[in-house]
């Protein structure tokens, strides 16, 4: 396996420890018991929230790998300064 593939893949050790599985069982138990103690509106609202959480995490992952957030930040800070740069470069050409 090429070195760059190993760097992307990383160690696959997350689900091998007992602490992970104890936390997983507790989270699944809480998710199964929650509808029995909450009203229908809260359960629906929580399910809707959890659907959007995964979308937000995916979007964050994509933006992190592609650098889109940094591009937007650069564009928003770069555009207001562009007319100033143009005016200074134009003034510099006419004064020389």
CA distance 69 to 75: 10
Asked, for residue 91, whether it belongs to a domain, the answer is: yes
Kindly report the average pLDDT of the chain as a whole number.
77
Q: Tell me: the pLDDT tens digits for 55-91?
A: 888 888 887 777 666 655 555 555 565 665 556 555 5
Q: What's the total number of domains in the chain?
A: 1
Residue with more model confidence, 39 or 86 = 39
Asked, for residue 23, whether it belongs to a domain, the answer is: yes
Which segment, 3-12, 41-50, 87-96, is predicted with the most confidence on average? 41-50
CB-based contacts of 21, cutoff 8 Å, min separation 6: 15
The answer to whether 43 and 35 are in contact (CB under 8 A) is yes
For 22-30, what is the mean pLDDT?
A: 95
Q: Please, which pLDDT band fits residue 28 given cuts at 50, 70 and 90?
A: very high
CA-wise closest residue to 63 among 73, 48, 77, 78: 73
Provide the domain limits for residue 41. 14-95
CA distance 91 to 81: 16
What's the pLDDT at 96? 52
Task: Tell how far CA 31 is from the center of its chain.
Answer: 24
Asked, for residue 9, whether it belongs to a domain, the answer is: no
Asked, for residue 22, whether it belongs to a domain, the answer is: yes
């Amino acid at each position: 396996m090429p070195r760059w593939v190993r760097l992307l893949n990383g160690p696959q050790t997350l689900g091998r420890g007992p602490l992970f599985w104890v936390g997983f069982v507790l989270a699944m138990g809480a998710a199964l018991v929650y509808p029995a103690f909450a009203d229908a509106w809260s359960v629906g609202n929580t399910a809707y929230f959890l659907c959007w959480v995964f979308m937000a995490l995916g979007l964050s992952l994509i933006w992190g790998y592609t650098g889109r957030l940094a591009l937007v930040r650069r564009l928003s800070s770069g555009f207001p300064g562009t007319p100033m740069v143009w005016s200074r470069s134009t003034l510099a050409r006419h004064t020389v």
